[in-house]
């Protein structure tokens, strides 16, 4: 009898297994804010999709939708929160108009480089504050960093910029908190998705632009219209990209699927950073040798002006929004401690 009962239990478990596996299957429909043709910017997420499938044995899949194919880039947050879609890949800086603190989880002027940023996110309070930000603002999303790139270029201009007065009156595409700095310096800024920047330059709707790293900007063809490319990217020393999942969907996922998604995104942080670092020099050399681009470094006066103006912006944003102040204070405290390590361990830049 014991053998019979055991046999029946095994048979029942085998019959139940397919049903359980079917119930545990998950499909993330993921519109993205950046074309997958843009290396380091949009290219990480298809690789994440591939890894989710492989690591889960096919029970967890992600279907990636190019910008605008399912949801417009600037609508992704609301769509994920409402459940219109169950996930999205974008960057928190796009939500500055909805959540003042959001840009602090995307790129900070004169802020942390990639290694320091990841240290704060994973081993400081960064990720906890990141989730708290969306919760406090009433968005029904679970968020995790899922890609990061190193410094961007500081912008593409039609003429040389020698002094702060040269910026006055310019119309420029600019991202995040750096855009508020430029506004204080007399620049009329607009935040355009990547695919809209070249036509805007071509038509004269904007005079200058920043977007991303040289190899990414090359895909968008800015060098055809504006020839002065400035460095360093003071406004974005590192930029974080996020995978958002509707919180009800996340809460209903198995622990295995949650772990696979989290670890695929952690791997993507490494992979995207490495990809970005590997391909910039070739694009810069090509720009100079074949495209007539002049690579320029900001002079000391300009960098000093950008920094002092950013400090003004940071104080104003903190005074206007309690949560911005909370995040900035935490990041600043972490960076103060990190500076002890950085200043002693790393070779000086000059």
Summarize the annotated binding site for substrate as residue ranges.
Answer: 152, 173, 210, 236
Burial status of residue 132 (CB atoms within 10 A of its CB: 0-12, 13-18, 19 or more): middle
Q: Mapping DSSP to helix (H, G, I), strand (E, B) and coil, where does residue 90 land?
A: strand
CA 244 to CA 279: how far, in whole Å? 28
Q: Are 21 and 58 in contact (CB under 8 A)?
A: no
List Cα–Cα distances, 183 to 84, 168, 177, 190, 245, in angstroms: 35, 9, 10, 10, 33
Kindly provide the b/e burial profile for residues 149-184, where b requires at least 16 CB atoms within 10 angstroms of the residue's own CB: bbbbbbbbbeeebeeeeebeebbbbbbbbbbbbbee
List Cα–Cα distances, 40 to 143, 148, 169, 223, 268, in angstroms: 20, 8, 32, 19, 10
Nearest CA-CA partner of 32 in 15, 21, 17, 44: 44
Summarize the annotated binding site as residue ranges.
Answer: 152, 173, 210-211, 236
Summarize the annotated binding site for Na(+) as residue ranges.
Answer: 211
Residue holding tokens 């909370």?
326
Compute CA 38 distance to the chain's CA centroid, rounded to the nearest angstrom: 13
Give the Cβ contact number of residue 53 at 10 Å: 16
CA 89 to CA 77: how far, in whole Å? 9
Structure tokens at 118: 């990841």
Burial status of residue 85 (CB atoms within 10 A of its CB: 0-12, 13-18, 19 or more): buried
């Amino acid at each position: 009898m014991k053998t019979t009962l055991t046999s029946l239990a095994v048979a029942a478990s085998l019959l139940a297994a397919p049903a359980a596996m079917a119930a545990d299957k998950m499909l993330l429909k993921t519109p993205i804010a950046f074309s997958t043709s843009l290396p380091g910017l949009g290219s990480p997420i298809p690789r994440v999709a591939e890894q989710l499938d492989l690591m889960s044995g096919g029970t967890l899949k992600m279907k990636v939708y190019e910008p605008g194919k399912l949801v417009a880039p600037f609508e992704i947050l609301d769509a994920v929160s409402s459940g219109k879609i169950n996930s999205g890949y974008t960057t928190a800086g796009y939500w500055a108009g909805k959540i003042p603190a959001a840009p602090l989880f995307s790129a900070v002027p004169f802020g942390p480089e990639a290694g320091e940023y990841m240290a704060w996110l994973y081993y400081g309070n960064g990720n906890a504050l990141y989730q708290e930000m969306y919760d406090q603002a009433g968005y029904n999303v679970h968020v995790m960093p899922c890609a990061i790139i190193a410094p961007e270029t500081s912008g593409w201009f039609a003429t040389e910029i020698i002094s702060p007065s040269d910026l006055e009156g310019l119309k420029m595409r600019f991202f995040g908190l750096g855009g508020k700095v430029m506004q204080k310096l007399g620049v009329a800024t607009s935040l355009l998705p990547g695919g809209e920047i070249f036509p805007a330059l071509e038509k004269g709707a904007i005079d200058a632009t920043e977007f991303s790293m040289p190899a990414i900007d090359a895909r968008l063809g800015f060098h055809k219209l504006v020839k002065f490319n400035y460095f360093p990217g003071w406004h974005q020393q590192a930029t974080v990209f996020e995978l958002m999942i509707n919180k009800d969907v996340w809460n209903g996922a198995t622990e295995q699927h949650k772990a696979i998604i989290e670890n695929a995104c952690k791997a993507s942080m490494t992979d995207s950073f490495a990809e970005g670092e590997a391909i910039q020099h070739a694009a810069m050399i090509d720009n100079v040798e074949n495209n007539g681009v002049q690579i320029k470094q900001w002079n000391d006066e300009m960098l000093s002006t950008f920094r002092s103006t950013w400090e003004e912006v940071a104080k104003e944003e903190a005074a206007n929004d309690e949560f911005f102040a909370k995040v900035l204070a935490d990041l600043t405290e972490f960076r103060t401690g990190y500076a002890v390590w950085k200043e002693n361990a790393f070779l000086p830049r000059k």
